[in-house]
Structure 1
Amino acid sequence: MTAACGGDDDSGSDATPATTAAPDTDTDTDTDTGDPDDELDAGDTGDTGDAEATATTAAPEPEEQPEQGGEIVVATLFEPFGLDVKTLVGNVFDGTVSNAIYSSLMVYDANREVVPQLAQSLESDDQQVWTLTLHPGIEFSDGTPFDADAVKFNLDRHADLEENSRAYQNARNISEVTVIDDTTLEIVLDFPWAAFPETLAGNLGKVGSPTAIQADPDGFNRNPVGAGAFVLDEWATGERIVLDRNPNYWVDGQPYLDRIVVRAVPDTQTRIVSAEIGEIDIAQSVNGAEIAEAPDRGLAGYPGEGPGITIWMNNSAPPFDDVRVRRAALMALDKRTIFDVVYGGAGQYPPNQFIVSNDSEFSARDEIDYPEYDPAAAAALIAEYEAENGPVSFTYSCYGQSDLVNLAQIAQQMWAAAGIDVEIEIKDQLSVILDVLTGNYSISCFGATGQEDPDLAFYGQLHSDSATNYALYANPAVDEALDAGRRTADFDERYEAYLVVQQALADDVPFFQVVTSPWGWFGNPQIGGMVGLRDSTFDAAQLFLRSN
């Protein structure tokens, strides 16, 4: 339903300084220097030396002139659990809403490079001491200055163990944050960290208004205040989240839309039909086939990048505390058939194993023999285990998303063929997530975000000291490799470290990806500005509605 109106770090050498600067957004200035090491002037609109000046930065000139105004309805798979920056999960769970409210210090561009957004630049000579410079004059939607003090407040809050922030895993590696002036911070890390810029493109880079947080710490989770393109107008649980245009957004002329209404519609068929009849304008999807088939329905498809579908196993409890059962669970599955039948062959095959793309410079897929589909070998491993421990059976839990239900049913048949008795338990999405987060599961579907940098792809999910090691996997050799890869900027040293990690994924199979299918959107072809897609999110500031 629409209403329109008119009018990074170079990790190849520790001798290279890491300089990440925002592209010049002055449309009269050519910002293509041709040299990736050149620092670009960020938003040079004249004299930016006055810290009290209002920050208005011209948006890049688009291929078509966006129309101002209008309202769109967006269907997401899930409703956020909360919107405090410390509770954010990201991607399909709350990324659509949180990105609109907060924006981010850093973001990914179309080339999968980390670039500044609310930040103006991020620089380091040694990847341990970083200088973060902000655009001057930005304000949160409540009028609080978006300045160095506000960023420090948020970073310190994430690093406070008692705050129970989901970003703590990364924030704990910050040893000191010093405010240099209103727009400049010095961030000292515990060690040289090549992946640090990428953490600021995640939840660590979301910055909430200190005024609003301090005024009502508990209530902030339902009444967030950020410096993004939209402000929260209403949150009717189970019905809708209403986002209104932020009239003081720092990019001149943006956002283009007046309002975005977000509805959680977990059922795939309902999202498709609602888009076809115009009840919703754009619908979220984690199934590449749905996106690819959108034009056949008279809709537009907007494929992005996504990590795909992951199956997690509890490595600390029988039967998955035995590597033979884990390997058998993987080898019994014909992933190619699942990819073709459930996901229409849309995406990346074989799966990317958590690095965002198989063509990543850190992907060692060509050097490693991952377990392949071999039901006879799987059956032999199960028989060997059962001879020592008795019959193998387990309950596979997942939530009722249609493609995941189809996948579960096909997997159940394939596991049965290998002699594994499997019961399927379809639960509500929150219950599945809480069970995995608390270790109260045997085997389960669960998401995992693909990352550009292998440190962020692997450390949180595999290190035995990580709070997000939901598989409860422990391997001292992997811990050592993860620590080594995190603490050097030398590409060759990092590659060798993450080769060890990827080999362990193949040998130990603590969890595995079944498919890598694009996450994205489908819907009204009159929606423009669908750019910056990653993990099924978009830049709400750039969305607009064509009137004809």
Structure 2
Amino acid sequence: MTGPSRRLVLAGLAAVPLAARHALADIAPAAPVRGGQLIVGVFPEPPLLTSAITTAGATQAVSGKIFDGLLAVDLDLKPQPSLATSWEVAPDGLTLTFKLRPGVTWHDGKPFTSADVAFSALEVWKKFHGRGRSTYANVTAVETPDPLTAIFKLSRPAPYIIAALVGAESPVIPRHLYEGTDILTNPHNTAPIGTGAFRFVQWERGNYLVLERNPTYWNQPKPYLDRVIYRFLPDPAANMNALETGEVQLITSNLLYNDIGRLIQNPEIEAVRRDSPYSSTVSAFELNLERPLFQDLRVRQAFAHAIDKDFIVKNIQYGYATAVNGPIPPDMPEFYTADVPLYPFDLRKAEELLDAAGHKRGADGVRFTITHDPAPTGPIYLRSAELIRDTFEKIGVKVVIRNQDFPSFLRRVYTDREFDTIHYGAQTGPDPAIGTQRYYWSGSFARGVAFSNGSAYNSPVVDKLLLDAQAELDPKVRRDLYVRFQQQVQIDLPRIPTVAAQAVVLKRRNVKNLVTTGDGVLGNFADVFIA
């Protein structure tokens, strides 16, 4: 496959100016125009390009353009055909039958078949995906009676699985390129072959990534864009400036929240907000429970009382977030409860708890020292880390902030386990069994699996609540199980939820049809065009 030269790529980094009114807006469908390229300013740079083996948001944002899922989801969050044209759930919930789309080919020309689905589900999603380890825990087999039929067999019902089968969450990967290899180090993780709307062309590390239109895409005449280019801009001010000058046309991450109001005064720029369970996130201060210090509940409670969530909302995220007190955010109302133990910001209470735990101040006023690794995904977590450092100092805890690139952060936390505390945000939806369970279920703890049970929390009570909720078909009973789960983990405090961020992206107004599916900018961009 041939692609554009570096000169051609950089020559395309300019947008066509146009006049329009400014607003915090959604995107209305418009008549598509073929051609052109979309330049996206992002950071961090993705560690891999397939979200089949990682839940890293930077990877998901790209992977969904290259790979398809069995299903898609519309703006009303109803499942729609994708690689599967139809599906049927047995009355007992133990069998899911998918009829697959004929004539679909991988980007290398090989045919897509049910064997790819079975391999992806059993050998990849179920084993290596941070959410998939719990999402597909009840899947025991995938039968393939013919090349266009895949039958999932379950040990217990799993009513949430349908919601997990979108391309960004559960991409089907090519068995012929992965079978018999080390899945985690396969070279196609960084030079992927998918069935999706765009094909991988070029990745210049630290600079840009280029995707081009898949001319044999099964959903013709889509996609409309000729090319999607991702520019990796670690400085959020430079990222915002690039949008303002037209060097990029879309920013999906690494925003300066305090600058959004000024930027959308520009009539050529708008902010797009699209909240849905697919974009629900909760940031949390997570503790490594393998450290003896954090095995004392009083220490965890003290930390919870010493984190000023309201300050983070007002002065770090500038109102584009909500303080939260539990693992499920308010924008998932069918599961959320406010009836959980609360830990209001109270430094005196934090000191009392540390005294009771036997951690007295030394001559220098310090009780103990911990390391803190903020997620290297933009300024939010670094500024929050500085706040936590300064606040914890007041209760006699010295915090040493460590910075690293994104792959090093993932390796330190999830493989080497060489950390005390971290602060990061990740998806909690579209269903608690998909997004939230992985942080608390003991079965999701596995070295090398990113964004899973990083605290190494193990509670038989919580495990049972989660597994029962996974399989429960009665919505009322299921909600009650998740309410009890939220209450119990807020008693145990393996991680301290801090804020739920709003899903906001910035774009040039000539970028049309950006959000036409329920997974938003994680979707395939097949409908996007440049006016």
| Bucket of the pairwise TM-score, normalised by the shorter protein | 0.7 to 0.9
- Displacement of 1:384: 1.5
1:327 aligns with 2:327: no
Q: 1:238 aligns with which of 206, 209, 212?
A: 206
Structure-2 residue corresponding to 1:406 = 383
1:542 aligns with 2:511: no
Structure-2 residue corresponding to 1:394 = 370
Q: Does structure 1 conserve the Cα–Cα contact (< 8 Å) formed by 2:427 and 2:436?
A: no
- Displacement of 1:418: 3.1
Alignment of 1:256-335 (within 5 A): 256-285=224-253, 291=260, 294-298=263-267, 299-304=269-274, 305-335=279-309
SS in 2 for 1:406: helix
Which sits farther off after the overlay, 225-234 or 283-292? 283-292
CA distance in 1, matches of 2:348, 2:360: 19
Change (3 A) 1:270 1:232: same
Q: Does structure 1 conserve the Cα–Cα contact (< 8 Å) formed by 2:134 and 2:437?
A: no
- Displacement of 1:339: 0.1
SS in 2 for 1:285: coil
1:337 aligns with 2:311: yes
Deviations 1:105-164 (A, max 9, x none): 233432344444322233212222111122332222222222323222322322685xx5
Structure-2 residue corresponding to 1:433 = 410
Alignment of 1:490-509 (within 5 A): 490-509=474-493
- Displacement of 1:100: 0.6
Residue 468 of structure 2 aligns to which amino acid in structure 1? A
Deviations 1:407-463 (A, max 9, x none): 111222222233332222222222222222132210112232121322223322111
SS in 2 for 1:139: coil
SS in 2 for 1:207: coil
1:175 aligns with 2:140: yes
SS in 1 for 2:237: helix
Change (3 A) 1:67 1:434: same
CA distance in 1, matches of 2:180, 2:246: 41
Alignment of 1:320-469 (within 5 A): 320-347=294-321, 349-351=322-324, 353-355=326-328, 357-365=330-338, 367-387=339-359, 391-400=367-376, 401-438=378-415, 439-467=417-445, 468-469=452-453
TM-score of the superposition, structure 2-length normalised?
Answer: 0.84
Residue 418 of structure 2 aligns to which amino acid in structure 1? N
Q: 1:470 aligns with which of 448, 454, 457?
A: 454
Alignment of 1:64-103 (within 5 A): 64-84=30-50, 86-90=52-56, 92-103=57-68
1:222 aligns with 2:200: no
Residue 185 of structure 1 aligns to which amino acid in structure 2? A
CA distance in 1, matches of 2:501, 2:126: 36
- Displacement of 1:352: 7.2
Q: Does structure 2 conserve the Cα–Cα contact (< 8 Å) formed by 1:393 and 1:420?
A: yes
Query: How many residues matched?
Result: 484
SS in 2 for 1:479: helix
Deviations 1:31-86 (A, max 9, x none): xxxxxxxxxxxxxxxxxxxxxxxxxxxxxxx7321111001211221222223454
Q: Does structure 1 conserve the Cα–Cα contact (< 8 Å) formed by 2:283 and 2:425?
A: yes
TM-score of the superposition, structure 1-length normalised?
Answer: 0.81
CA distance in 2, matches of 1:513, 1:202: 28
- Displacement of 1:544: 0.8
If asked which structure has higher relative contact order (CA below 8 Å, sep 6+), I would say: 2
Q: Does structure 1 conserve the Cα–Cα contact (< 8 Å) formed by 2:280 and 2:331?
A: no
Structure-2 residue corresponding to 1:56 = none
Change (3 A) 1:387 1:252: closer
Residue 119 of structure 1 aligns to which amino acid in structure 2? A
CA distance in 2, matches of 1:453, 1:306: 10
CA distance in 1, matches of 2:296, 2:266: 47
Change (3 A) 1:202 1:330: farther
CA distance in 1, matches of 2:301, 2:143: 48
Residue 271 of structure 2 aligns to which amino acid in structure 1? G
Q: Does structure 2 conserve the Cα–Cα contact (< 8 Å) formed by 1:520 and 1:536?
A: no
- Displacement of 1:504: 1.7
- Displacement of 1:204: 6.2
Q: Does structure 2 conserve the Cα–Cα contact (< 8 Å) formed by 1:371 and 1:506?
A: no
- Structure 2 unaligned spans of 5+: 1-12, 17-27, 446-451
Alignment of 1:84-163 (within 5 A): 84=50, 86-90=52-56, 92-124=57-89, 125-158=91-124
Q: Does structure 2 conserve the Cα–Cα contact (< 8 Å) formed by 1:158 and 1:168?
A: no
Q: Does structure 1 conserve the Cα–Cα contact (< 8 Å) formed by 2:30 and 2:513?
A: no
Structure-2 residue corresponding to 1:484 = 468
SS in 2 for 1:263: strand
CA distance in 2, matches of 1:359, 1:172: 23
SS in 1 for 2:157: coil
Change (3 A) 1:215 1:413: closer
- Displacement of 1:318: 3.4
- Displacement of 1:257: 0.6
Q: Does structure 1 conserve the Cα–Cα contact (< 8 Å) formed by 2:40 and 2:250?
A: yes
Deviations 1:480-534 (A, max 9, x none): 2112112221223222221221012221111122211123421322111110364
Q: Does structure 2 conserve the Cα–Cα contact (< 8 Å) formed by 1:234 and 1:242?
A: yes
Residue 440 of structure 1 aligns to which amino acid in structure 2? E
CA distance in 1, matches of 2:54, 2:463: 26
Which sits farther off after the overlay, 479-488 or 301-310? 301-310
SS in 2 for 1:393: strand
SS in 1 for 2:224: coil
Q: 1:515 aligns with which of 496, 499, 516?
A: 499
SS in 2 for 1:445: strand
Q: 2:218 aligns with which of 232, 250, 258?
A: 250
CA distance in 2, matches of 1:437, 1:290: 34
Change (3 A) 1:63 1:495: closer
Q: Does structure 1 conserve the Cα–Cα contact (< 8 Å) formed by 2:354 and 2:360?
A: no
CA distance in 1, matches of 2:430, 2:139: 21
CA distance in 2, matches of 1:354, 1:133: 36
Deviations 1:340-371 (A, max 9, x none): 11111123x23274435445211122x22332
